[in-house]
Chain A
Amino acid sequence: MVTRRFLVTAGMRVGAPVILMLAAAACGSSASPETPPSGGSSTNSPAPTVDQGAPKMGGTLRISYSTAFLGLDPHKLTASGSLTFNSWIYPYLFHQPVGPASDPDDYSNMPYAAESWTQDNDTTYTVRIKQGIKWPAKDPMNGREMTADDVKYSYDRLVRISPYAPQFPIKSTEVVDKYTVRFNLKDPYAPFLQRLSSEPGFLLPREVEEKFGDFTKPENAMGNGPFFIKDYQVGTGGKFVFQKNPEFFMKDKEGRQLPYMDEVHYIHMVDTSAILTALRTAQLDLAGVPWPSVASIKASNPEIKWHESWGSGPSSYVLRFRTDQKPFDDVRVRRAISMAIDRDAVAKTFFLGNAVPNIGPIGNQKGFDHAPEKFYGDAFNYYKYDVAAAKKLMAEAGYADGFEVPTLYTTNFLGALYVSQAEWIAGQLAKIGIKAKVQVDEYAKYQTSTLVGEYNGMAFNPTHPYQDPDDWLYLHYYPGAPFDATRINDAKLNELILAQRKELNPEKREKLVLDAERRIADLVPTIQVGKGKSATGVHPWVKSYAPFSNKMTHGNNGIGYMQVWLDGSPTQK
């Protein structure tokens, strides 16, 4: 099961003060941590031109997905493929701004199925949904209107059975009137509104579960989102055919019915060569391209336009330590390892320079025009490449001759680049005497062992994308949390983590989050290896596509593509 979700460090209720402050405080440099970068104050490429003419209706967008299809029940699965598909079928209460005209770092909540909301007190939120939103006109909903009962049903079910339930601390959901629902939380919870715009907060019809048992089968995926599933064939080369929902409740500013495209074909492709070939020969309208292949495609297909995005959050790959095991229980050893890793080399080797080093787990969002050493203080030194200082620390810790340890990482399931990075890191550690024996685990074994902290010594893991810093802090560093793979259990850090969850004042919460970031940087339970930029090749007939991957967790895919249109596509008659 794949759980590749992109980290989105979301802001607070409205606006993104935390993000902006985090960005200003955290570090990043295209050269090295101590060298200010040249040029650019934004981590994102300039937004593509907004003026692309009036949207044209029709056509079929062809894109690919590579994860296995594991069913569609949004409350039973966290697989990225499922979440992506669900976002085309079901709406949320809110969504984040997307599209070329939006600020990539604007995480504010915009109405989707919701019309308005109020926060009554620290633990109570009242949301009013739009009137007139209809479920599909087929059995078992038969075109009835969506009401507050549907919202209550959806969130009650989520809390009852979803793997994400710990991140939705809802005590009760009550129906106030036909279109108004009230959420009563167990405790003040700062990211709550963000949750209402992210997976798995999809709005579902009760009748489907009553008739079919759950929402797993594509035949039972009946929502009132922008698209519905017209047909599907699972397996490599097979595709999910999404057809636009003619009854969709949203229109654009000029009153045109959304979405613009007639169909979206999601084709299952797992081989990178096949994906790039399909992009070159216009069998795909757009695709993510690994950096080593970008130059080749630019040469063979100069008409393809390029969108680059830093995404959000920290690097994709993280080195973790079991801080409750020798020798990693000694913070000097962890700091030494951090200093032995040449992050600039990671950027050059694996991303052809399109990467920046990260220090903290929350990561930087925009702007490198700040002084990271000022923010992190002494901890900043642990992230400079300094083999001599690393050896000195190892000697102080009693490991002047180094030691041997297995490194666990997952298989080629996540790509050859990932495996290569692990091997490269092992080579770096050899400079300070650490013999890291690289060990490959099959993904199923990795997911039920390494991912949840059942490993010895060190592990090289992919990270999960999230909507809020709390996801990173709580899920990964709080004792007993699902992904507490380091067992750090630091009293001061625990206090900060719990405090930031409950702090509703954005400025105060921001301070708590930044304090946690600094604490983690000092303790070094994890090491971010480098944050890479992603490149997407897009054929020129695809309009209004924006590098909105900052906010594009898989669950925001549908809303993102809703405002894309095609002009001159081979699929348009």
Chain B
Amino acid sequence: MAEYAMKRLVLFVPTLIIVTFMLFTLIRILPGDVVAMMNEFRTTPEAVERTRQQLGLDKPMHEQYITWIGQVVQGNLGESVWSKRSAVAELRDRLPATLELAVMAMTVSLTIAFSVGIISALHQDTKIDYIARGFAIAALSIPNFWTATLIIVIPSILFHKSPPLSFTPFTEDPVKNLSQFILPAIVLGINTSGSLMRMTRAMMLEVLRQDYIRTAWAKGLRQRQVVVRHALRNAMIPVITIIGLQLPLYIGGTVIIESIFGIPGIGNLTLQSITTRDLPMVSALNLVFAVFILGTNLLVDMAYGYLDPRIRYR
């Protein structure tokens, strides 16, 4: 497995280069010139050209990319063309909130998905199963922004209560911080638990029908031992795959949830950077996303070998 991991890590670099170059180029060829945006009223070609030179945008695309790569290697991810804040400082400010939300939401999602999925599988075609499956469909179908809006609006009308809608760092006031994050974590977690729960149920049903499970029952093992030690582990591989696919959503796909609950995360930063054509920020964020996705994919692949020792890597 170590050899496999090393091979994958070696492939990291060319993959990163390809992905970041594609995204680096894409944002720069989109309509909407940041130089024109910055110069709004000024129409003199000299002023526009001066701005373009200051931002390094007068150079050919590949030169710009090479310059950027050189800076990245030295730990410099650039700075915002608008606010002059370094990309590292922005990420340092925003990542903790995003990671906190991601961890909490994932915890909620996995807890619901596994418990409901297992219970549903064990009580197949009973009332419990139908309720659980109905819940999964609802979780999948109902948009999380609708749920989020209801969750803050209805209590505010009926009880004049709502979670804090401005951000307080955990280090400053843990109680206020958690009271802000708990609801968005639940909303996000429920939303992503639907597909996980359905996959868990499906895989558990398949595994529970296997001969070795029948043998385990026949040996007189308790239900908990059969389900957790024997069945669940074997059912996890496709579920882990889905978890791996969902992880990037927690990092960059929560723009609306962040907007509703007032969480200064990466999602909003990404949207704002693209909207304002903040090219260095977009490039820095793309790098972060690419590293994260490649890393989670690698971890997911490694997990297969842990879950099923029969899997060998070449």
> Of B81-89, B129-137, B192-200, B218-226, which stretch is located at the interface?
B81-89
How many B residues are at the interface, by size bracket? 35 or more
- Which of A217, A273, A281, A444 is in CB contact (< 8 Å) with B161? A281
Answer yes or no: A300 CB below 8 A from chain B CBs.
yes
- Nearest CB of B to A290, in Å: 14
Bound CA span A165–B156, Å: 47
In the bound complex, CA of A301 to CA of B277 (Å): 41
For A274, the chain B residues whose CB sits under 8 A away are: 152, 165, 259-262
A3 to B276 CA separation, bound complex (whole angstroms): 12
- Given the known interface contacts A165-B42, A274-B165, the answer about A236 and B264 at a Cβ–Cβ threshold of 8 Å is yes
Q: Among B39, B41, B260, B262, point to the contact of A267 (Cβ < 8 A).
A: B262
Chain B residues whose C-beta falls within 8 Å of the C-beta of A269 in the assembled complex: 165-166, 262
- CB of A77 within 8 Å of the partner chain: yes
- CA A442 to CA B31, docked complex, whole Å: 9
CA of A274 to CA of B180 in the docked complex: distance in angstroms? 13
**Nearest Cβ on chain B to A283's Cβ, whole angstroms:** 6
Q: In the complex the two chains form, is B260's CB within 8 Å of A273's CB?
A: yes
- B40 lies within 8 A of A273 (CB): no
Pair A447/B37 contact, Cβ less than 8 Å: yes
B36, B42, B165: which has the most chain A beta carbons within 10 Å? B165
Establish whether residues B263 and A236, one from each chain, have CB atoms under 8 Å apart when the complex forms: yes
Interface window among A11-19, A25-33, A68-76, A398-406: A68-76
B274 to chain A, nearest CB (A): 8
Q: B162 touching A278 by the CB < 8 A rule?
A: yes
Q: Are the CB atoms of B84 and A71 closer together than 8 Å?
A: yes
Question: Is B93 a contact of A444 with CB atoms below 8 Å?
Answer: no
Given contacts A236-B258, A277-B165, A283-B166, contact A78 B264 (CB under 8 A): no
Using Cβ atoms and an 8 Å threshold, which residues of chain B touch A246? none
Q: Which of B104-112, B230-238, B265-273, B305-313 contacts A (4 or more CB under 8 A)?
A: B265-273
Which residues in B have their C-beta under 8 angstroms from that of A238? Answer: 166-167, 264
Bits for B32-49, please: 1 = Cβ < 8 Å to A, else 0: 111011111111000000
Given A235-B265, A277-B156, A271 contacting B260 (CB threshold 8 A): yes
> In whole Å, how far is B34's beta carbon from the nearest beta carbon of chain A?
8
Chain A residues, Cβ within 8 Å of B80: 71
Q: A1-B276, A78-B40, A443-B275 are in contact. Are A235 and B264 (CB under 8 A)?
A: yes
Which residues 168-185 of B have a CB within 8 angstroms of A?
A: 180
The docked-state distance in angstroms from the alpha carbon of A269 to that of B136 is 32
Please determine whether A444 and B261 come into contact, CB atoms closer than 8 angstroms. no
A83 CB, min distance to chain B CBs, angstroms = 13
Q: Of A3, A69, A281, which contacts B162 at CB under 8 A?
A: A281
Chain A 143-173, CB-CB to B under 8 Å as 1, else 0, gives 0000000000000000000011110000000
- B8 at the A/B interface (Cβ < 8 Å)? no
Question: How far is it, in angstroms, between the C-alpha of A164 and the C-alpha of B42 when the chains are bound?
Answer: 8
In the complex, whether A250 has a CB less than 8 A from a CB of chain B is no
Cα–Cα, bound, A296→B153 (Å):
11
Q: A239 — which chain B residues lie within 8 A by C-beta?
A: 166-167
Any B CB within 8 A of the CB of A439: no
Check A163 against B83 for contact (C-beta < 8 Å).
Answer: no
B22-38 with Cβ < 8 A to chain A: 30-34, 36-38
* Cβ contacts under 8 Å, A69 to chain B: 83
- Min C-beta distance of B211 to chain A, whole Å: 54
Q: How far is the CA of A172 from the CA of B156 in the complex (A)?
A: 56
Interface residues on A, range: 35 or more
A273 to B256, CA, bound (A): 12
Interface assignment of B164: CB less than 8 Å from any CB of chain A: yes
How near does chain A come to B82, taking the closest CB pair, in angstroms? 4
Q: Which residues of A from 243 to 282 have beta carbons under 8 Å from B?
A: 265, 267-271, 273-274, 276-278, 280-282
Is A569 in the interface zone, CB < 8 Å from B?
no
Closest CB of chain B to A275's CB: distance in Å? 8
A239's nearest neighbour on chain B, judged by CB, is: B166
- A216 touching B264, Cβ below 8 Å: no
Q: In whole angstroms, how far apart are the Cα atoms of A228 and B164 in the complex? A: 25
Q: Given A1-B37, A216-B83, decide whether A273 and B153 contact each other with a Cβ distance below 8 A.
A: yes
Q: A71-B83, A296-B157, A482-B40 are in contact. Are A277 and B162 (CB under 8 A)?
A: yes
Q: Give A397 to B140 CA distance when docked, in angstroms.
A: 55
Is A237 in the interface zone, CB < 8 Å from B? Answer: yes
- In the complex, the answer to whether B82 meets A77 with C-beta atoms within 8 Å is yes
Whether B85 contacts A217 by the Cβ 8 Å rule is yes
B149 within 8 A of A: yes
Task: Give the nearest-CB partner of A166 in chain B.
Answer: B41
Name the CB-closest residue of A to B35. A448
Are the C-beta atoms of A163 and B82 separated by less than 8 Å?
no
Q: How far is the CA of A472 from the CA of B34 in the complex (A)?
A: 25
Compute how far the CA of A280 lies from the CA of B38 in the bound complex, rounded to whole angstroms. Answer: 37
Residues of A within 8 A of B (CB): 1, 3, 68-71, 76-78, 163-166, 214, 216-217, 233-239, 265, 267-271, 273-274, 276-278, 280-283, 296, 300-301, 413, 442-445, 447-449, 480, 482
Question: What are 15 of the A-B contact pairs (CB < 8 Å)?
Answer: A1-B82, A71-B84, A235-B167, A236-B262, A236-B263, A237-B263, A267-B165, A271-B259, A276-B156, A280-B156, A300-B156, A442-B275, A447-B40, A448-B36, A449-B31
The 9 nearest A-B residue pairs measured at CB: A235-B264, A237-B262, A444-B32, A163-B41, A237-B167, A70-B82, A445-B32, A445-B31, A448-B36
Residues in chain B within 8 A of chain A (CB atoms): 30-34, 36-43, 80, 82-85, 90, 93-94, 97, 149, 152-153, 156-157, 160-162, 164-167, 180, 256, 258-265, 268-269, 272, 275-277
Extra pairs beyond A163-B42, A217-B84 (9, CB < 8 Å): A70-B82, A216-B82, A237-B261, A273-B260, A276-B153, A277-B156, A278-B166, A445-B31, A448-B31
